[in-house]
Amino acid sequence: MNALILSAVLGVVMMFSGILLKQKSAIRNLAIAGILLLLVSNILETYGTVFFKVNTEGMMYFDRFALFFNTIVLLSTLLYLLLTARDMEKVGVNYAEYFALIFFILCGITLVSSFKSLLILFLGIEIISIPLYILTGTDKRNLKSNEASLKYLLLGAFSTGLMLMGIALIYGARGTFSTEGANLVTDKPSALLLAGMILLLFSMSFKASAAPFHFWTPDVYDGAPTVFTSFMATIVKAAVFIAFIRLFDEAFGTLRSQWQLWIAVITAATLFIGNITAVFQQSVKRMLAYSSIAQAGFMLLSLYAMNTDAKEGILLYVTAYSFATIGIFAVLAKMNDYTFDGFNGLAQKDPLLAGSLTVFLLSLAGIPLTAGFLAKFYMLKATVATPQGLWLAIFAILMAAVSVYYYFRVIQAMYFKEGDAKAPETTPVFRWTLVILAALIILLGIFPDLLLHWFYF
Amino acid sequence: MIPVLLILLPLLTGLVTFFIKDEKTARSWALLASIATLAVSLLGLTVMNDATHLAHKAQWLQTIGSSFSVKVDGMGQLLCLLTAISFPLIFLSTWHSNYKKANNFFALMLLGQAGLMGVFVAMDALLFYFFWELALIPMYFLASQWGGEKRIKATFKFFIYTFVGSVLMLIGILYLQSKTPDHSFALQSFYNLSLPKGTQNWVFWLFFVAFAIKMPVWPFHTWQPDAYEQSPTATTMVLSGIMVKMGLLGVIRWLMPVLPVASYQNGDMVMSMAVVGIVYASLIAIRSDDIKRLIAYSSIAHIGLMCMALFAENKSGMQGVMIQMFNHGINIIGLWIMVEVIERQYGTRKLSELGGLAQKAPVMAIFFVIVALANIALPLTNAFAGEFLMFNSLLSAKTSYLYAILFTVFAGLGIILAAVYTLNMIRKIFFGELTALTANAQDIKLNEKLVMGIIVILVFWFGVYPQALLNITDELSQVLVNKMEISHLLRKQ
């Protein structure tokens, strides 16, 4: 509740900061201070200090899972802003508004991580989506950015329609929006309920860019300014997954036999399309777009398995994935040339940058000693433990082996190929944050309990 | 304490090496570090050779049933010793090679050593998997950065091959873990499993493909000649001398005792693959003009024989393989050192461009001939005892009598072919007319003499007194063979 209200207030504050503060560095520092405030207030709430007592009529429930997830999101956003806030200046003139929109998105994220009612879920998803449509189109003079924004809006509206339809059908079947107690319905679900569930499944798959609902992803991620792609592909995606899991665990947990096969097919398709298409990309940014689809496939495994390992694992997974991807995008935003060849010889020019980038890529590829490995490990462990999950796990792991190909192309370019990649200009804060990020990834890769321990006690 | 030191020492010294800018200092530091590791390994063999020092267990990832559990058993002793001996020898023999960014080179070598040590001592499946991959990453970087012209492609093929194998193994590990009653990754829990026949069969292949790629066994070998050829020779020594032993160790420690029924049932299949590999690789070796490729193929043949002897499933085979892993490592590193000297001095690895070196470089010729003969297991050299035991085991293999005879005959054919290509290689390099490249040849330098001297001493020592190695491995091989005794299991089903 702390983070929810404060983030909405901070969004408004940031909107007016553009008028009141003339210096861009002041706006930036205000935003970073705001995130810190959110982070602290959320951690305080975890330990019982609630600033705002609001009666939500059982529509929201701030449990450990939700609060812990909020902490992860806020921490990732803090790192994200430290790394890329400076680069947002290059996007356009409305510097303060970008931060305002980001705070509004955070507000939406706190909604979807703790909903107990389908209405709140809908509100959260919309509060996340609408600022995103704007952020995608912020590069106003760029045709690609405009195209991406329009495409995102149209398709997003369509999936919103599906979601509303689904919610309406479920309301019809159950007579309530609440996900609480929904598990009591066990035998013979009505056709209305099932149809609603399938519609929700589709619309959530769309938001999570799972195949075959992924077609918007590459274009939108490619067209949006890189600094915002980073936010979209990591933190927002993580939030959608948490909502996805909460929804299917709480509202449709007992209907598992009905949706598990659907999820299995969607997972396999997402893994296949994401990985195979990423292999053929020439631009690192587009490769990352497909890689985010591929990683979503892995995250879907947790939905398929839906046991304790899966729920712990998804937290680790979104952390590992967000940290690594934020790091890569932060460097990418500073590069002039987005092709693989643009990275040729970067290790010679800037060993530190190349070194941290290597850690991020190894983590995404799932090499041991990085957080990415343990994240994948948890997903696979959860999947293998289910009765029929073994083949899905084997398929997923083979696809992970494919992913090594495109992640390592960047490493090869940086280290083994001769070239004259220009080392981007960086500030000390940027470099330190990057190193801290890489260190965190390795630390989590050796002692994941550092993160998961928080979840338990 | 010993196993922890064996891992930590190279790991920490390796990390430090990244920050040593001066090339000379980095080189000396790496040599010093590797000698310290050797000292620890020798301590473990002699003074501290007891259970309390050789095992260590610490908490790690408790929530998912894994622990940092390491132990040096008989096989671990030999392989750790091999790793510990090899690195100082490699550093010494390449003392005069110039590497750009030498500090990174030595740092990665030491990190690789840490990974290898970890694989040899890990007693927890997840830990084993961790080190299995960790040993691979530094080697990949070494080979891709300092290798030959076509290095990027060749080493990437190597990486992808082994990565695919190891992720399949990961699924196998996860599956076995989910079947253990205490949901633990400990080796002992895996040993206590007795899975039904059908399950064992497909889990067997998940594991075996990973190990077969690493060894490599035909038809999973195609990455190997390219990778050996394109890697810098110091890395090739690690790859072929030590790293291939990871695959054999995997079969011995993690596959056969865990899935005894499947190992027995698939034994014929695996042995057939290995025997095809022996003959095939030997025939290619005969036709090879490049020394590196020739030795690479000869290595496939040797490893194939070891793989066969394992699946004979008796004690002499088990023990033969264990001591042969050590001896093969020593011999092949000796051969690679000679190749590296030849390549560095004369700028070629082609047999057709070499000749008459015995006149110009007699010391080198003597050393080369000794290690080459050791490589084909002449009596009184170290490889003889192991090879004898392995052939002994093949004849008394658990397969049908006809198969046993057939396998032995074909494997024996491999030995004859080995003599053909080895002697042919010696003839072409050291005898005959001098060529344009070898006309002004010089003999090997002091450091190389020193290294080769040590290797030759080891060759003869363990050739005359193999009992030293047999004593170390005796108990363990008996224990493992007992675990594979499956007649009662078969009856139960």
pLDDT digits (tens, 9 = 90+) for A211-248: 888 889 999 999 999 999 999 999 999 999 999 998 88
The verdict on a CB contact (< 8 Å) between B144 and A416 is: yes
- Which residues on B lie below 8 Å from A417 (Cβ)? 152
User: Is residue B493 predicted with pLDDT exceeding 50?
Assistant: no
The verdict on a CB contact (< 8 Å) between A397 and B130 is: no
Q: Residue A50 — pLDDT band, cuts 50, 70, 90? A: confident
The pLDDT tens digits of the residues spanning A370-426 come to 999 989 998 998 998 888 888 899 999 999 989 999 999 898 888 888 887 777 888
The residue of chain A with its CA nearest to that of B203 is A390
Block residue for tokens 């790793």: B83
Burial of B419-443, coded b for 16+ CB within 10 Å and e otherwise, reads bebbeebbebbbeeeebebbeebee
| Interval B139-150 mean pLDDT | 85
The helix or strand, by DSSP H or E, that contains position A220, with its residue range, turns out to be: helix A216-223
The partner residue sitting opposite A381, judged by closest CB among B60, B62, B64, is B64
The verdict on a CB contact (< 8 Å) between A381 and B177 is: yes
The residue of chain A with its CA nearest to that of B130 is A368
The helix or strand, by DSSP H or E, that contains position B55, with its residue range, turns out to be: strand B55-59
Cβ contacts of residue A57 below 8 Å, gap of 6+?
Answer: none
Q: Residue A185 — pLDDT band, cuts 50, 70, 90? A: low
The pLDDT tens digits of the residues spanning A97-153 come to 999 999 999 999 999 999 989 999 999 999 999 999 999 999 888 898 999 999 999
| Interval B42-71 mean pLDDT | 82
The partner residue sitting opposite B133, judged by closest CB among A368, A393, A452, is A368
Quote the CA–CA distance of A243 and A115 in Å, as a whole number: 8
The partner residue sitting opposite B167, judged by closest CB among A312, A362, A401, is A401
**Residue A405 at interface with chain B, using a CB cutoff of 8 Å:** yes
- Please report the residues numbered 115 through 174 in chain A whose beta carbons come closer than 8 angstroms to any beta carbon of chain B: none
The pLDDT tens digits of the residues spanning B220-237 come to 888 888 888 888 888 888
Domain that holds residue A448: 2-456
Interface mutation vs chain B, best among A377, A392, A457, most B CBs within 10 Å: A377
| Interval B427-455 mean pLDDT | 82
Backbone angles phi, psi at B231, to 5 degrees: -75, 155
Which residue, among B390, B413, B378, has the nearest Cα to B317 in the 3D structure? B390
**Residue A359 at interface with chain B, using a CB cutoff of 8 Å:** no
Nearest Cα of chain A lies from the Cα of B21 at a distance, in angstroms, of: 14
Block residue for tokens 């499944």: A201
Helix (H, G, I), strand (E, B) or coil at A283: strand
B18 DSSP 8-state letter:
T
Which residue, among A379, A381, A368, has the nearest Cα to B128 in the 3D structure? A368
CA dihedral B142, B9, B243, B339 (to 10 degrees): 60
**Residue A448 at interface with chain B, using a CB cutoff of 8 Å:** yes
The residue of chain A with its CA nearest to that of B174 is A381
Block residue for tokens 């790690």: B60
User: Is residue A186 predicted with pLDDT exceeding 60?
Assistant: no
The verdict on a CB contact (< 8 Å) between A415 and B144 is: yes
**Residue A394 at interface with chain B, using a CB cutoff of 8 Å:** yes
Q: Which two tokens stand for residue B310?
A: 């394992």
User: Is residue B62 predicted with pLDDT exceeding 80?
Assistant: no
Helix axes B315-346, B446-464, angle to 10 degrees: 160
Quote the CA–CA distance of B225 and B214 in Å, as a whole number: 13
Q: How many domains does chain A have?
A: 1
Quote the CA–CA distance of A312 and A238 in Å, as a whole number: 14
Burial of B74-102, coded b for 16+ CB within 10 Å and e otherwise, reads bbbbbbbbbbbbbbbbbbbbbeeeebebb
Quote the CA–CA distance of B232 and B246 in Å, as a whole number: 20
pLDDT of the residue at A120 = 92
CB B381 within 8 A of CB B460: yes
The residue of chain B with its CA nearest to that of A416 is B145
The verdict on a CB contact (< 8 Å) between A394 and B160 is: no
Quote the CA–CA distance of A385 and A395 in Å, as a whole number: 15
- The domains of chain B are located at 284-493
Weakest-pLDDT range from A125-134, B204-213, B284-293, B350-359: B350-359
Helix (H, G, I), strand (E, B) or coil at B350: strand
Task: Report the predicted TM-score, pTM, of the whole model to 2 decimal places.
Answer: 0.90
Interface mutation vs chain B, best among A344, A348, A381, A456, most B CBs within 10 Å: A381
User: Is residue A166 predicted with pLDDT exceeding 60?
Assistant: yes
The pLDDT tens digits of the residues spanning B371-423 come to 999 988 888 888 888 888 888 888 887 767 778 888 888 888 888 899 999 99
Q: What percent of chain A has pLDDT over 70?
A: 98
The verdict on a CB contact (< 8 Å) between B152 and A385 is: no
The pLDDT tens digits of the residues spanning A191-202 come to 888 899 999 999
CB B411 within 8 A of CB B311: no
Q: Residue A162 — pLDDT band, cuts 50, 70, 90? A: very high
CB B475 within 8 A of CB B340: no
Nearest Cα of chain A lies from the Cα of B279 at a distance, in angstroms, of: 32
**Residue A402 at interface with chain B, using a CB cutoff of 8 Å:** no
pLDDT of the residue at B492 = 47
User: Is residue A362 predicted with pLDDT exceeding 90?
Assistant: yes
- For B172-263, where are the E strands, in sequence order? none
**CB pairs A-B closer than 8 Å:** 70
In angstroms, the Cα distances linking A81 to A227, A329, A443, B22, B228 are 10, 12, 22, 38, 46
pLDDT of the residue at A109 = 94
Mean pLDDT of the residues in chain A: 88
The verdict on a CB contact (< 8 Å) between A401 and B62 is: no
Q: What percent of chain B has pLDDT over 90?
A: 13
The residue of chain B with its CA nearest to that of A398 is B164
- Which residues on B lie below 8 Å from A385 (Cβ)? 178
pLDDT of the residue at A457 = 52
pLDDT of the residue at B350 = 84
